[in-house]
Structure 1
Amino acid sequence: MSVRYNAAFTALLAAALFGATTPLAKTLLGTMSPFMVAGLFYLGSGVGLAVAIAFQRVRRSEKERANESRIQLAEVPWLLGAIAAGGVAGPVLLMFGLSTTPAATSSLLLNLEGVFTAVIAWVVFRENVDAQIFLGMVAIVAGGVALSWQPGASGVSAGALLVAAACVCWAIDNNLTRKVSTNDAMVIACLKGLIAGSVNLGIALLLGAHLPGFGKTAAAMFTGLAGYGVSLVLFVVALRNLGTARTGAYFSVAPLFGVTLSLILWPDMPGVLFWVAAALMVLGVWLHIRERHEHAHTHVLMDHNHRHRHDEHHQHTHDFKWDGDEPHTHPHRHVPMTHTHGHFPDIHHRHIH
């Protein structure tokens, strides 16, 4: 299977885990404050991943530990910005939105995250966009408008606006995380979970909330580990290989998984606007998935450190004794090269068009 399809599958799996979290969060909101739910979700994610990282490092050899990619000082502001936007503001806005919005509707509204992610990637970080990708985003936006509009009301519901605001926060998070995506995805997700979880939990306790019983606390933390922790690890890996806008597009299928689960938990036949919105969003995702991008491009001189195989972009020598095992991690240099092949704005193809 090609790198592209591996990355697409990784993004879709991340979407499935995150999408299932939304209706599960809805079941917890009746007994916990939004800050408490967000705090336990992220804290569960951070603690669970910290245990996994510790176990992983015990098993690694001394050489592997020496060659690990470490977050550089210049990357710290990008990571802290991502944590503030996506780890603190986003989840809280979502929880407040969920408290007044049906779970199925909220799940489909999360498609807007992909749209906002792409717009920021195109406008701020100058990722390329073609007519097909643009039309896909138009379809998703139209679906979001149809889904959040309330016939007979004066406009869009406040709950829907809060969910949309959460999507803006996660879009900012996705684009900032792109700047540190060559680092260990598990470490990035763990730091976000521990910091964001502690902040949200602290706010909840300061506002007078109390920790729920052991069973509900464990359920919330385990849900967060899967839906926020493992999902984010997979998302960062996909981000590294597909670029921000494309990964966001694949991630847009998350609401479909959420809708399926929410309709199982709360059986109810949605109205016509729901199905119109779903059809528009599916069309938008399909247009993104079928995109092909190929042209002559030049790679500039670059030094970095990430997990890799010796493919056409990694033909380098080693300054240590290599046993032939791959993929592996070590600092390496990319020499200038011009060639033509299908590609996406991954960590090696962030060139101007």
Structure 2
Amino acid sequence: MNKTGLGLALLSAVLFGVSTPFAKLLLGGMPAQMAAGLLYLGSGLGLAVVLGARAALRLPTHDEAPLARRDLPWLLGVIATGGVAGPLLLMLGLARTDAAGASLLLNVESIATLLIAWVVFRENVDRRLLLGAVCIVAGAVVLSWQGRATLSPGALYIVAACVCWGIDNNLSGRLSAVDPVRIAMLKGLVAGGVNMALALVFMHAGLPGPVLVAGAMAVGFAGYGISLVAFMLGLRHLGAARTGAYFALAPFVGAVVSLVVFGVHDAARLAVAGGLMGIGLWLHLSERHDHEHIHEEMAHTHRHVHDGHHQHTHTHDDPPGEPHTHYHVHTRLVHRHPHYPDLHHRHSHDGHDHGPDGHDHGGHDHGGHDHDGHDHTHAA
């Protein structure tokens, strides 16, 4: 297992999970739309400060690939689906359904992420990964279950919101080589602005007091901003299906915080959910995907070290030290090693029989594929 990717994905889930109980507390002092706006604005503004500090300090080790013209369609898709449509559909659904049904339905996001990654973007998903994801989602369902699953007409809105976030997670994978702080900042500012406008103009809501505003923005910075940066870095190492599955641990983290801090959760239910999620996590951690594969010649820009996939020469303009970020060319390479659908291993698996152990038992025809989903030209 890629330990870096695992750590980042779990960090994302922990930060979001911890933020959820505190975000719910905010709803007692403001409309849901206003809370969503402040949370996202806190994310965007906080990350803008991080970007400014990073530029002022001129930290070369924090350099990331800039946005390029080819990235704009993916970025617009991420903002439209995950930043605008998803929260809006969720608010419409919450206004028309009960809390039990809404909590249960929000677990659709991780399922949507995995299915879209598997069916649309052709990420490798073997039976071990699927079973692990089912266990993790089952644990989240146990946490959400409140004795009934009555679905109001608003349920379709919530399912649509989860599908939007599933699309967002997969589109974000196409941007995982780009500076994640910049992507998350733009998403937070746009989503926050749209939600605030809806609350102020259409709902005629007033701004809450300064303490509530500051609290909401602080929660948003950690639970939405830093969490999203960690999620996007996890996508870089693991791909959307696996990162999305680990992110489904967030409800468990939120439940633990609720139990310890607020005393509002059933410990027995928490133990059952934790057991299911632990089984799912073990299935993922024990996954081994190993087969001979071909890296066709490709060129792109991203943060890297000179590992087995980055044996290239430097010009006098390239930055010194490692890790560093610059435009570089990969020569054609054929080799075999354990790997995941990271930036350099997004290849087809047609003709392979991946058994439940995740091993390859078939052919090795992976030629002619763009392994990171980008049009490899110089950044604009």
Aligned residue type for 2:172 = T
Aligned residue type for 1:22 = T
Partner of 1:59: 57
- Overall identity of the aligned pairs, in %: 52
Partner of 1:81: 77
- Please give the alpha-carbon distance, in whole angstroms, between the structure 1 residues aligned to 2:155 and 2:210: 32
CA spacing shift, 1:185–1:133, aligned 2, 3 Å: same
Report how far residue 32 of structure 1 moved: 1.2
Aligned residue type for 2:69 = L
TM-score by length of 1: 0.88
Contact 2:256 2:270 in 1 (8 A): no
Choose from 340, 345, 353 the match for 1:344. 340
Partner of 2:366: none
Partner of 2:177: 182
CA spacing shift, 1:215–1:158, aligned 2, 3 Å: farther
CA spacing shift, 1:329–1:77, aligned 2, 3 Å: same
Partner of 1:126: 122
CA spacing shift, 1:154–1:241, aligned 2, 3 Å: closer
Report how far residue 171 of structure 1 moved: 1.2
Alignment of 1:106-185 (within 5 A): 106=103, 110-143=106-139, 151=147, 155-156=150-151, 164-185=159-180
Report how far residue 147 of structure 1 moved: 5.5
- Please give the alpha-carbon distance, in whole angstroms, between the structure 2 residues aligned to 1:266 and 1:187: 35
- Please give the alpha-carbon distance, in whole angstroms, between the structure 1 residues aligned to 2:9 and 2:316: 34
- Please give the alpha-carbon distance, in whole angstroms, between the structure 2 residues aligned to 1:71 and 1:163: 31
Secondary structure at the counterpart of residue 332 of structure 1: strand
Choose from 215, 221, 227 the match for 1:225. 221
Partner of 1:37: 35
Secondary structure at the counterpart of residue 208 of structure 1: coil
Structure 1: tracts of 5 or more residues without a match: none
Contact 2:178 2:302 in 1 (8 A): yes
Partner of 2:243: 247
- Please give the alpha-carbon distance, in whole angstroms, between the structure 2 residues aligned to 1:232 and 1:19: 12
Choose from 22, 25, 44 the match for 1:46. 44
Q: Indicate the larger mover: 67-76 or 274-283.
A: 274-283
CA spacing shift, 1:137–1:157, aligned 2, 3 Å: farther
- Please give the alpha-carbon distance, in whole angstroms, between the structure 1 residues aligned to 2:99 and 2:34: 19
Contact 2:297 2:331 in 1 (8 A): yes
Partner of 2:234: 238
Partner of 2:279: 283
Q: How many residues align?
A: 346
- Please give the alpha-carbon distance, in whole angstroms, between the structure 2 residues aligned to 1:68 and 1:253: 28
Partner of 2:374: none
Secondary structure at the counterpart of residue 220 of structure 1: helix
- Please give the alpha-carbon distance, in whole angstroms, between the structure 2 residues aligned to 1:41 and 1:154: 28
Alignment of 1:260-279 (within 5 A): 260-268=256-264, 270=266, 276=272, 279=275
Secondary structure at the counterpart of residue 280 of structure 1: helix
Report how far residue 261 of structure 1 moved: 1.4
- Please give the alpha-carbon distance, in whole angstroms, between the structure 2 residues aligned to 1:27 and 1:212: 13
- Please give the alpha-carbon distance, in whole angstroms, between the structure 1 residues aligned to 2:274 and 2:105: 10
Contact 1:97 1:161 in 2 (8 A): no
Report how far residue 74 of structure 1 moved: 2.5
Report how far residue 154 of structure 1 moved: 7.2
Contact 2:100 2:144 in 1 (8 A): no
Partner of 1:302: 298
Choose from 12, 24, 27 the match for 1:26. 24
Contact 1:298 1:339 in 2 (8 A): yes
- Please give the alpha-carbon distance, in whole angstroms, between the structure 2 residues aligned to 1:109 and 1:237: 26
Contact 1:111 1:281 in 2 (8 A): no
What root-mean-square deviation, in Å, do the aligned CA atoms of Structure 1 and Structure 2 show? 3.0
- Please give the alpha-carbon distance, in whole angstroms, between the structure 1 residues aligned to 2:155 and 2:15: 22
Contact 1:21 1:227 in 2 (8 A): yes
- Please give the alpha-carbon distance, in whole angstroms, between the structure 1 residues aligned to 2:145 and 2:257: 23
Report how far residue 343 of structure 1 moved: 0.4
Report how far residue 90 of structure 1 moved: 2.7
Aligned residue type for 1:7 = G
Report how far residue 273 of structure 1 moved: 6.8
For residues 237-271 of structure 1, the C-alpha deviation after alignment (integer angstroms, 9 at most, x for no partner) is 11011111111122221111111112234424539
Contact 1:18 1:228 in 2 (8 A): yes
Partner of 2:195: 200
Report how far residue 160 of structure 1 moved: 7.2
For residues 189-229 of structure 1, the C-alpha deviation after alignment (integer angstroms, 9 at most, x for no partner) is 01101111111111111120111111100100110000000
TM-score by length of 2: 0.82
Structure 2: tracts of 5 or more residues without a match: 350-380
Q: Indicate the larger mover: 264-273 or 235-244.
A: 264-273
Match status 1:292 vs 2:291: no
Contact 2:143 2:255 in 1 (8 A): no
